[in-house]
Structure 1
């Protein structure tokens, strides 16, 4: 494993003694330090190579630190700046934080506080950098510096070289489709199509036609022949999201395609050979689904040649600031707002949140806060407000559908006092299918029957 390169800091102060002292302290804490005594020297250094962070005194000879900060902000908006100030320049420093400075410290300052601010700034910084060596474009959409995610990406790059089927596991909102796209881009199929289909979001009656296509007249409404997503992915990659929600009948047909490498359109007697790599994803426990007869064992082993498990956002907390900052940059452009970053307390609140909805929920929280922002720095109050809002968007479509389905069944059983025949009739489903739905949601109709208690019977 490569040894990580220490972050390089640019230190700007005209006090030679303070410059020397700070350089020694920062170097002792593992940082590379470039120390200069003026704003012009700092700009010259920036033109040669960008540091990870700039620490500058507000009062500098000839050109002051505020002017330097404003030029850095205009040329390198993602580069964090910490300002050092004497008491007389506190108003300037306070104003600078509203303009996007990460923080300011008043001299004399506690070295421990400075180190904390540096660590926090680096955790969210997204500096302009050269492209990753070894063609890192394949993973460009995945924002991470955490060990847990890096291990997954390392394995993903290795499996991308083969045509083996890969099952991606992880909680909802962890980025399974992003990883599937990255694997496709790193594979020999990168120039061919990547087709994604959510098996839980398409009604069962339409999913077969969507996957396999159909010929004209195959069913009511089939006024013309149409290729399916399997044919569209020929030569490339098919990503089956929420594979655990695929109906059993379609599981059989998919297994046959994977075994024979031939697709038959609905209503057709002939097949067409295809060359498709299948990646699939689920947040469900497929082993439990197999034991319950809801997922075919032979298909499971066909899809699960290699398993990659994405960590939850809570397991990669060092990525939270980085992700939030990148999302903020994207959303500020979307809403046309001048928002440069988060106040340190807001960032700390994001880092400590529980994130049951993972990266998807983080994006929604940042979007909520950005949409309401009125200043260049997002304050703690806006982040707290966004975190408190119960959001339907945190749920995936599949989760929301399953929750609705279960609540619907509960209401039917309450209405019919647990009479399955009556409940099935109201739902316009046969009893066998209705029992399967109850089993799927672990509901027992007997619990809804209003039978008299033992004491009443005896009376």
Structure 2
């Protein structure tokens, strides 16, 4: 299996040959070009994982190559090669969407590291694109349960295996982890999909109101009601009822729900007639229900009725490989809703997303994607640097590049100096000037 398909553009034939030798020996497929216009005509974005191009070339420069490639495929990573004097131009190109830039002369091993990250980002973007669905009728399960983690892959298999099995199930997971979406996926990919999916949130409703909502009532049973009312269980007959935060359901209603599940029928309030219902019950909890049983707050018989199939939905912090895919999905949905474009997701953004703990789970990630689409990233991207004098703007850029190099080199100023192509003394002076720490 190849490490990635690379197009390398430079007007120096010797540099192209050297790069091809090293990258092919490292496991990449490489096609080199000394003519940028010819390269643009030959590169097929669908078959290419990354493009490396020199910034300064006759006739067609790297910025124009970047612009044309992004117009053809905005997700294709483009890495720029620049001389020392071209660093400000390269930084501006990164604002235009370049994945990264390397200052000549670059280290061959460093080039491989940068390409590995670019190819990984390309893979993430492709997976996000292939997981997109147009509508429910043509959707695949992968389009509903987005993720590359083993946990999500296992849940997709469970949906395939159990969607049409007449068994109730219990979903465990933290708040915001996607429990209701998982339940809806089971329903939508089952024969019950044409019948209602009714979600009932057990927390916050007064017990009397909750009981009437669940089971309905006969005419005149409640003060001020002249007509009978069908409860949610009866309304959902033929479909699925999903109880969210079922641990909050009062004990008296737990008993009535258990009877309805056992008899597959409901009695409206004020009636002794058992009305048959055909239901699949799904429940979700964010607590340990067995501990609730031990504490006397949850019925053991209801727990065992719900738990023959128990599914665990891990929080985002335990499935970091899913975060970029979900972020891109939410960003695409938000862009369509707001009439905006999807923001470019570079390798640094990918690293930052994976590094967050996301205590609010999927809900927090979705909000972050929507802010990004609206240009309100957290922390915000301030407009202030754009009105600063050019020397101060360049100083901020330089300080950021030095800080990033120090971080990647474990704080070693010697290694960072090699990576940046600076004398160590010069780098140390800049570290002191910008008040950056180095080991």
TM-score scaled by structure 1? 0.70
- For residues 386-442 of structure 1, the C-alpha deviation after alignment (integer angstroms, 9 at most, x for no partner) is xxxxxxxxxxxxxxxxxxxxxxxxxxxxxxxxxxxxxxxxxxxxxxxxxxxxxxxxx
Q: Using the alignment, how far apart are the partners of 1:217 and 1:84 within structure 2?
A: 80
2:131, 2:143 within 8 Å by CA — same for their partners in 1? no
- For residues 342-374 of structure 1, the C-alpha deviation after alignment (integer angstroms, 9 at most, x for no partner) is 56545433322222222222233444455453x
Q: Using the alignment, how far apart are the partners of 1:357 and 1:290 within structure 2?
A: 27
Which of 324, 327, 341 is equivalent to 1:321? 324
Which of 95, 99, 103 is equivalent to 1:98? 95
2:203, 2:248 within 8 Å by CA — same for their partners in 1? yes
1:293 corresponds in structure 2 to 296
Matched positions, count? 373
Q: Using the alignment, how far apart are the partners of 2:107 and 2:161 within structure 1?
A: 46
User: What's the offset of the Cα at 1:296?
Assistant: 0.9
Q: Using the alignment, how far apart are the partners of 1:7 and 1:263 within structure 2?
A: 60
SS at match of 1:152: helix
SS at match of 1:289: helix
Relative to structure 1, the CA distance from residue 381 to residue 261 in structure 2 (aligned partners, 3 Å threshold; closer, same or farther) is closer
Q: Using the alignment, how far apart are the partners of 1:284 and 1:300 within structure 2?
A: 13
1:46 aligns with 2:49: no
2:170, 2:282 within 8 Å by CA — same for their partners in 1? yes
Which of 64, 71, 91 is equivalent to 1:67? 64
1:13, 1:60 within 8 Å by CA — same for their partners in 2? no
User: What's the offset of the Cα at 1:289?
Assistant: 0.7
2:205 corresponds in structure 1 to 202
SS at match of 1:84: strand
1:163 aligns with 2:160: no
1:126 corresponds in structure 2 to 125
1:77 corresponds in structure 2 to 74
- For residues 61-119 of structure 1, the C-alpha deviation after alignment (integer angstroms, 9 at most, x for no partner) is 65444333223333433444333334454444322221222322223333444444445
1:321, 1:351 within 8 Å by CA — same for their partners in 2? yes
User: Which structure 1 segments of 5+ residues have no match?
Assistant: 385-459
1:196, 1:238 within 8 Å by CA — same for their partners in 2? yes
2:146, 2:152 within 8 Å by CA — same for their partners in 1? no
User: Which structure 2 segments of 5+ residues have no match?
Assistant: 383-439
1:189, 1:235 within 8 Å by CA — same for their partners in 2? yes
Q: Which stretch has the larger CA shift, 273-282 or 82-91?
A: 82-91
Which of 306, 311, 315 is equivalent to 1:303? 306
User: What's the offset of the Cα at 1:153?
Assistant: 2.5
1:9 corresponds in structure 2 to 5
2:175, 2:361 within 8 Å by CA — same for their partners in 1? yes
Which of 277, 280, 288 is equivalent to 1:277? 280
Relative to structure 1, the CA distance from residue 19 to residue 78 in structure 2 (aligned partners, 3 Å threshold; closer, same or farther) is same
2:53, 2:81 within 8 Å by CA — same for their partners in 1? yes
Q: Using the alignment, how far apart are the partners of 2:13 and 2:52 within structure 1?
A: 15
Compute the RMSD of aligned alpha carbons. Answer: 3.4
- For residues 136-187 of structure 1, the C-alpha deviation after alignment (integer angstroms, 9 at most, x for no partner) is 6234133211223222322333222412111111111111111112222332
1:146, 1:316 within 8 Å by CA — same for their partners in 2? yes
User: What's the offset of the Cα at 1:54?
Assistant: 4.0
> Which runs of structure 2 are paired with 1:418-429 in the superposition (5 Å)?
none
1:382 corresponds in structure 2 to 380
Relative to structure 1, the CA distance from residue 217 to residue 142 in structure 2 (aligned partners, 3 Å threshold; closer, same or farther) is same
SS at match of 2:182: helix
2:359 corresponds in structure 1 to 356
1:138 corresponds in structure 2 to 141
Moved segments of 4+, more than 6 Å: none
2:180 corresponds in structure 1 to 177
User: What's the offset of the Cα at 1:132?
Assistant: 9.1
TM-score scaled by structure 2? 0.73
Q: Which stretch has the larger CA shift, 355-364 or 20-29?
A: 20-29
1:123, 1:319 within 8 Å by CA — same for their partners in 2? no
1:6, 1:32 within 8 Å by CA — same for their partners in 2? yes
Q: Using the alignment, how far apart are the partners of 1:185 and 1:33 within structure 2?
A: 44
1:166, 1:304 within 8 Å by CA — same for their partners in 2? yes
